[in-house]
């Protein structure tokens, strides 16, 4: 996740997407809250002015949403999905 954030902060959207591939491929039972929360932060960067008009950013946000929707639901867990930029 640090690498994904670093790439986004450096303006390297495609490298960030490639770095996140392994995270998105995790089975639901391994999709822990910490990853979901970090992906919320990534979504925040993707919704910012730098990426808000990039089609690849919208696809990345969709992958984040899919990850969070298919995350294993544990007792007491609440999900917060990334909002699409307007």
Q: Let me know if 65 is exposed, middle or buried by CB neighbors in 10 A (0-12, 13-18, 19+).
A: middle
Q: What is the pLDDT of residue 56?
A: 96
Average per-residue pLDDT for the chain: 86
Between CA 78 and CA 55 the distance in angstroms is: 28
- Per-residue pLDDT at 23 exceeds 90: yes
Span 22-49, average pLDDT: 92
- pTM, full prediction: 0.78
Q: How far apart are the first and last CA of the chain?
A: 25
**How much helix, strand and coil, in percent to the nearest 5, is found in the chain?**
60, 0, 40
Average pLDDT score over residue span 16-39 = 92
- Name all contacts of 72-79 with Cβ < 8 Å and 24+ positions apart: 72/28, 72/29, 72/30, 72/31, 74/33, 77/33, 79/36
| Predicted local distance difference test score (pLDDT) of residue 86 | 46
């Amino acid at each position: 996740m640090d690498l994904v954030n670093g790439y986004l902060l450096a303006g390297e959207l495609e490298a960030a997407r490639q770095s996140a591939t392994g995270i998105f491929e995790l089975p639901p039972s391994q999709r822990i809250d910490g990853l979901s929360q970090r992906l919320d932060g990534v979504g925040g960067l993707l919704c910012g002015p730098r990426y808000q008009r990039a089609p690849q950013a919208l696809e990345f946000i969709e992958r984040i949403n899919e990850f969070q929707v298919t995350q294993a639901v544990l007792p007491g867990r609440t999900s917060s999905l990334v909002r699409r930029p307007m």
